[in-house]
Amino acid sequence: MRIGELSRRTGVSGPALRYYEEQGLLHPRRSPSGYREYGEDDVARVGNIRTLLAAGLGTALIAEILPCMVVEGRYLAPVCPEITDALEAERLRITTAIAELERARTALDGIISAPVPESAVAEACADDYTQEPERAMAG
């Protein structure tokens, strides 16, 4: 099948499929005229790539671990034990990022809900902020 058919069957755009190829995630055959040709196994491979991207992994890591992954029922599972270590490291990275975002949200909640004297509101909002928010916030 050509790239358009793979795109239709997977819901992934042609440019994204070409990007996956550039990143070493897909390896289409080439016809004598240079067209990319994909097989049935590429449909499943694109699904696996999408699953790993949705899990927060980057394409470099996906290219490294994808050969060591199998589909077990509805799940993508690591075959090689060292892959589990890489996945756990990524989970820790994501967990740390979530904690940082939660701290930022808490700080922002505090800023939003902080009591402000009415006189300060009238003074601060009278000039700059209501007319040019970016300039007022910049300095």
**C-alpha 92: how far from chain center:** 16
Structure-token pair, residue 111: 């800023």
- Tell me the pLDDT band of 109, cut-offs 50, 70 and 90: very high
Of 2 and 134, the structure prediction assigns the larger pLDDT to 2
Of 135 and 84, the structure prediction assigns the larger pLDDT to 84
Q: Find the mean pLDDT for residues 70-84.
A: 89
Whole-prediction pTM value? 0.75
Provide the pLDDT for residue 72: 85
Could you report the per-residue pLDDT of 35-65, keeping only the tens digit for each? 999 999 999 999 999 999 999 999 999 999 9
Domain residue spans in the chain?
Answer: 1-79, 81-139
Report the residue count for the chain.
139
The CATH architecture one would assign to domain 1-79 is Orthogonal Bundle (1.10)
- Exposure of 3 in the CB half-sphere (CA atoms within 13 A): 18
